Chain A
Amino acid sequence: MNTEGHPARGAAGDATAATADVAREHDGTMVVRLAGAWCLGGGLPAVEPVAEQLRGTRPRALRFDASGLATWDTGLLAFLDRLEAASAEREIPVERDALPEGVVRLLDLAHAVPSRTGLEGTKVRVGLLARAGERTLALLAGGRAVVTFVGQLAMAMGRLVTGRARFRSVDLAVFLQDTGAAALPIVTLISFLVGVILAFVGAVQLNQFGAEIYVADLVGLAMVRQMGALMAAIIMAGRTGAAFAAQLGAMKVNEEIDALTTMGIPPLDFLVLPRFLALCLMMPLLCIYADVLGIVGGFVVGTSMLDISFSQYWNQTVNAIGLLDCLPGLIMSVFFGALVATFGCLRGMQCAGSSSAVGDAATSAVVSGIVSIIVADAIFTVLFDVLGI
């Protein structure tokens, strides 16, 4: 009999595998012989075979023999706990006196507080119809939140126009820098490569007609009318939309937004407006920059691989693009900036509770930002076509 109260953590070297042998005594009791190292790390015998024996001919009592037990930890407790549960099912008395004192104490502790049922966290099975209904309601609530936020933003813009909006001009300057100059490297890389890709795709097709010179038209018009605005917007959705959501989400979790509210400073004016203004101002500039870089990309392909001379490409591009062609891209980019800022800030302000919610907010800001950009782009393109711009 082992009277050691604490788990005797022997050296790993002399540990033998844990075993649980079952034997029936003449007096009708069942004895479980525990031997070896009962540690979580070393692998434990299954409970089922032993529990199965209990379900056979009902023994008078369940006893233990722990004389061969080398070391133990909570792995042994888990085994015994399930075994006791199995014997409780058949109302078989359990004699624990042969177990180490520490084991008995911990088992008592585990049963000291009865398990609580009907808690809030309990999972409830929900039918398909109910789930569909819940999703629909959530979708509607989400839509309402967007509309509400846009309305609040419009009111904040109203306060801005009448000079009553309160935010720090230094914040606006920081965001202008962050959404403008700081974004240039990635916009450079992506729009240059988009120009290169367009030129390649175009060249393969136009080559069949010997019309490679029209690569300049294709790249120029595609960049200016569509791709410049689209690429800049998608980059900013991933870069700045996510950043806005994470910043505001962290502020929300840290109660900084509550602190503004209780100071009587509307968070929408103080936090959202400078971000919104910065993106709406910077997006058209980034769009123009992306247009130029895309055309440069096409130019590099055209002059180096398609035998078009510098002046040919230049003249072709200048003739292809009229001033009016720049308008759709610029109009869209202001709108895209508004979309990215709105979703970034909305998801941040909706963030609740924990730090994992901040990550969700950033993800959701990027997803809803990009989806809304593409949808808006399609609508704008049809609209411009109808208007003949």
Chain B
Amino acid sequence: MAAHPTATNDAPRISVRGVTMAYGDFVLIRELTFDVRRGDVFVIMGGSGCGKSSLLRHMIGLHEPAVGEILYDGDSFTRATPEHRDELLRRMGVLYQQGALWSSMTLAENVALPLGEYTTLAPREIREVAHLKLALVGLKGFEDFYPSQISGGMRKRAGLARAMALDPDILFFDEPSAGLDPISSRLLDDLILALRDSLGSTIVVVTHELASIFTIADDSVFLDADTRTMIANGDPKQLVEHCPEEKVRRFLTRSAEPVEHPA
């Protein structure tokens, strides 16, 4: 079950140790080392195509790091046996960029599937829990809709309901505000904060949405496509003022590189 936020434990919840990501010979990004504290909202930021989503996919085991390892509570995920890895995965929930709902199932069935797999609840109880999770993300009444029948924002929220199905204590969000209007995106941010505050979940968010970053982030890492590594680590509210890297300050203040026009 999720730890309460006041139950302080100083050991990092997630540690990324010297991770290099590569596809074949192509090194995407190298030497990433950072920690995610328990109960924080941690943001992975950076320009387009710098490997933010890839880093997230490495953290949830969809790709293997070429070098280095990822630890959860000091427990190596990279070197875990398949059974142990499944156990660790069960404590994580992932919201994919487009929701990634299983299109042949209704919303309620989507949320119910992990419950049926990993709990001993009776079918009726599973249905009730699934309905509750959908109600939590504001989708009451849409239980029997198929993913193709609802809007993109609703799909994302349903994806979140599914990610929360097993009350994971770590939630991963891949570009939660991509493709959402400002209001929906703000509501999703509020939902993320509410989850953290009420369930004490640790939350990792991939985003480049500034408004979102400043609203939710406690801590962050900045990936840079040019140098292919991380160039900043810390609270974005601090980084915007004090980061030694000009690139990070420019990113966080939304100022473009000055374009020099020939006079």
Contacts and interface: CB of A to CB of B under 8 A. Distances in A.
Q: Do A and B bind each other?
A: yes
B117 interface: yes
B46 to A, nearest CB: 18
Interface string B83-96: 00010011010101
Given A254-B98, A258-B100, A112 B117 contact: no
A251 B261 contact: no
Interface in A256-304: 256, 258-265
Interface string B52-87: 000001001110000000000000000000000010
Interface stretch (B101-109, B130-138, B232-240): B101-109
B126 to A, nearest CB: 13
A314 B104 CA distance: 47
A262 B94 contact: yes
A167 to B, nearest CB: 11
A25 interface: no
Contact of A261 (B26, B62, B117, B262): B62
A256 B159 CA distance: 11
A113 B258 CA distance: 11
B100 A259 contact: yes
B102 A256 contact: yes
Given A112-B261, A166-B117, A258-B62, A263 B89 contact: yes
A108 interface: yes
B259 interface: yes
Most chain A CB atoms below 10 A, which of B60, B101, B104, B260 = B104
Contacts, number: 57
Contacts of A265: 113-114, 117
A255 interface: yes
Contacts of B260: 112
Interface in B26-49: 26
Contacts of A174: 104
B89 A264 contact: yes
Interface string A86-117: 00000000000000000000001001110000
Contact of A256 (B61, B100, B118, B262): B100
Given A171-B104, A263-B89, A264-B89, A255 B60 contact: no
Contacts of A261: 61-62
B97 interface: yes
Interface string A147-189: 0000000000000000000100001001000000000000000
B165 to A, nearest CB: 9
Interface residues of A, number: 21
A263 B113 contact: yes
Contact of B103 (A111, A171, A254): A254
A363 B61 CA distance: 30
Contact of B100 (A108, A112, A254, A264): A254
Most chain B CB atoms below 10 A, which of A113, A120, A263 = A263
B117 A263 contact: yes
Contacts of A254: 98, 100, 103
B114 to A, nearest CB: 5
B34 to A, nearest CB: 21
B138 to A, nearest CB: 21
B103 A251 contact: yes
Given A108-B262, A262-B89, A255 B117 contact: no
Given A166-B117, A263-B117, A256 B103 contact: yes
A258 B96 contact: yes
A264 B62 contact: no
Contacts of A259: 94, 96, 100-102, 162
A262 B103 contact: no
A171 B105 CA distance: 10
Interface in B212-251: none
A133 to B, nearest CB: 16
A264 B86 contact: yes
A376 B117 CA distance: 39
A259 B103 CA distance: 12
B117 A264 contact: yes
A386 to B, nearest CB: 43
Contact of B60 (A112, A256, A262): A262
Interface string A327-354: 0000000000000000000000000000
Most chain B CB atoms below 10 A, which of A250, A251, A254, A264 = A264
A200 to B, nearest CB: 44
A360 B12 CA distance: 45
Given A108-B261, A264-B90, A256 B101 contact: yes
Given A254-B98, A259-B102, A261-B61, 8 more contacts: A112-B259, A112-B261, A166-B117, A258-B62, A258-B96, A259-B94, A264-B118, A265-B113
7 contacts: A108-B262, A255-B100, A258-B62, A258-B96, A259-B101, A262-B94, A264-B118
Interface of B: 26, 57, 60-62, 86, 89-90, 92, 94, 96-98, 100-104, 113-114, 117-118, 162, 259-262
Q: Which 4 A-B pairs have the closest CB atoms?
A: A255-B100, A255-B96, A259-B100, A264-B86
